[in-house]
Amino acid sequence: MLEEDSIGDIINKMKYTDNIYYIVTLFDEVLNDLKQHQLFTNKNFTILGKKYEDNIIFTLVKKNTIRLDIFINEDSLEIHIDKTAETFVYSLEMIKNNEQHIKNVLKMIFTSKIKVKYCGKNYTKIYFINNNEVLNTFVFRKGLSFFKQKCNKKIYPPIFGEL
């Protein structure tokens, strides 16, 4: 079982690498634009797992929103949405060369309605919707057996309000 600490306890106990803080700063800039607390002090997130200098895992704990896990490593960022691991994966080099794109993706995640379509365990399609317009979709498949499965869908409200 993963242990949980309060954000204040984590900040007092751990010093992270500059790369971790750099990636967290990108989140903080987006959260500030959305009039939200920064990642380390935002009560909508908790830190999971063991705490190391070169990685940290934040998970969204806000009720009635989609499951969101943020894995920040010394050399990468992974964002897992709902049941889908590695929905977004960026190397540190990609992040540094595309800061504005990363911020736009984060803003999309935080401010969009998210519709998820499931067809069994082998097919998931995630839609990001803002102002009734689909901004982006992602499809995750394993094999071809999902064609025979009954599909279900669920729509989640924006995490921090629509644009």
Residue 112 contacts by C-beta under 8 Å, 6 or more apart in sequence?
128, 129, 130, 135, 158, 162
Question: Could you report the per-residue pLDDT of 101-124, keeping only the tens digit for each?
Answer: 999 999 999 999 999 998 877 888
> Is residue 131 situated within a structural domain?
yes
What's the Cα-to-Cα distance from 41 to each of 38, 80, 116, 129, 138, rounded to whole Å? 6, 21, 29, 27, 30
> Is residue 143 situated within a structural domain?
yes
Q: What is the pLDDT of residue 1?
A: 41
Number of structural domains (the chain) is 1
d(CA 55, CA 51): 7
Question: Could you report the per-residue pLDDT of 37-94, keeping only the tens digit for each?
Answer: 999 999 999 998 666 678 899 999 999 999 999 999 999 999 999 988 878 999 999 9
> What does DSSP say about strands 133-141 and 76-81: parallel, antiparallel, or unpaired?
unpaired
**Full domain range(s) for residue 86:** 4-156
> Is residue 161 situated within a structural domain?
no
Q: What is the reported pTM?
A: 0.84
User: Is residue 23 pLDDT above 60, yes or no?
Assistant: yes
> Is residue 133 situated within a structural domain?
yes
